Homo-oligomer: A and B are copies of this chain.
């Protein structure tokens, strides 16, 4: 089943894996040592991340090194763009400023 990139990063373990792979490429076995769960559990997370192309496998003998695919992370950046405009401008709008002040008085 094709995985949704937003659902892929919803899981804290998968976010931790992505951060690990930012430092260096790792094999499933090595990753599993970092977490308090079975190797197979980590392997399922890897499968999810691989299906939405957030990571990329590199076979080396009987070991598989997974690399972080930074390019794919830009999809989040593009999605955020629609909101970025909003959080930059909303504090220049009078009604928003007023409602913010009203909130703080409570």
Q: Which residues of A contact B (CB under 8 A)?
A: 4, 6-7, 9-10, 12, 15, 18-19, 22, 56, 58, 67-68, 70-71, 73-74, 76-77, 79-80, 82-84, 86-87, 90, 99, 103
Contact = CB atoms under 8 A, between A and B. Distances in A.
B58 A74 contact: no
Main secondary structure on A side of the interface with B: helix
Contacts of A19: 82
A87 to B, nearest CB: 3
A15 B83 CA distance: 11
B58 A87 contact: no
A15 B22 CA distance: 27
28 contacts: A4-B12, A6-B9, A6-B10, A6-B12, A6-B15, A7-B10, A9-B10, A10-B10, A15-B79, A18-B83, A19-B82, A22-B83, A22-B86, A56-B103, A68-B83, A68-B86, A70-B83, A70-B86, A70-B90, A71-B87, A73-B80, A73-B83, A73-B84, A73-B86, A73-B87, A74-B87, A76-B76, A77-B80
